[in-house]
Amino acid sequence: MPESELRRKISTFALDLSRMRKAEKLLEHSYLDECVRSSPEETEADWRHALIFWIDQLMTRSLALGDLESACYWHFEGIWIDQIKQHRAYHFWIYGRNDGSYWTPGDQREDHYFQACEELRDLFVNPGCKESIQSFSEPRLYLQRNYLAQDGTATGPQIAQLIELKAQRLVNKLGWTAARQCAARFVAGFYGNIVPAVVGTDRQATIRLLQSLEHSGSPANAPDIVNGFETLLAIRYLDLKLIEDLWDAGEVRREVIF
């Protein structure tokens, strides 16, 4: 064997050893944090995905929303329900990969999304997802402080900002005038009815609130304007039996919620 060939073989094995040594270092979190930097976009995406994970935990009552201080709620307001649907659809894809190919056809991906929508509707009438009325005290104070006037209408100090944020989601589809009208209509329907729907189990308030959630708060085929906090309030606190009754009676269309 020529010396050059031996040198090549030694070099190849030395490279393998180097790679194994580096791979072992990747198991050390401190090394990853220091040496493998994330871009600002990756950091933002990681934060968003972590928030969605915690919203999902709260929706399924692995955690109780009422146990959180109200200072936590604004985090959930920065997540849109479409992102929650995509998170759940992604897991349907993950679970289904063993039954098919890695590259899922478009129609199956669409089915995963529709499954996620249906799953969210199921949570409305899942006893395990409901919290006691007593735990609503913290969310109620937050709503009254930020979004509700003394008379219970959705005209609190943060309402204009909330409407504008939702309108920005719709402007490319509807234009500013229609976008603001749509956002204001949703805000009035949701925030103006959430307290009587939860505290008083008011039938008409519950109907108006559920109707505000149709097509995720916006016209069909327009971007959604329901945020994560609103999703949590509706799923965790609306009365299960009343929702079942409204769906059975046809007073609210189940299939268009979210």
The pTM assigned to this predicted structure is 0.84
Q: What is the pLDDT of residues 70-93, one digit of tens each?
A: 999 999 999 999 999 998 888 777
Q: Which two tokens stand for residue 138?
A: 């913290």
Q: What is the pLDDT of residues 188-213, one digit of tens each?
A: 999 999 999 999 999 999 999 999 99
Dmax (CA) of the chain: 93
How many whole angstroms separate alpha carbon 217 and alpha carbon 231? 11
Sign of the CA dihedral with 249 first, then 198, 149, and 212 last: negative
Contact 222, 170 (CB under 8 A): yes
Q: How far apart are the first and last CA of the chain?
A: 71
The residue among 54, 56, 121 whose CA lies nearest residue 258 is: 121
Helix and strand element counts for the chain (H, E): 13, 0
Give long-range contacts, CB 8 A cutoff, 24+ apart: 18-23: none
Tell me the one-letter amino acid at 100.
Answer: G
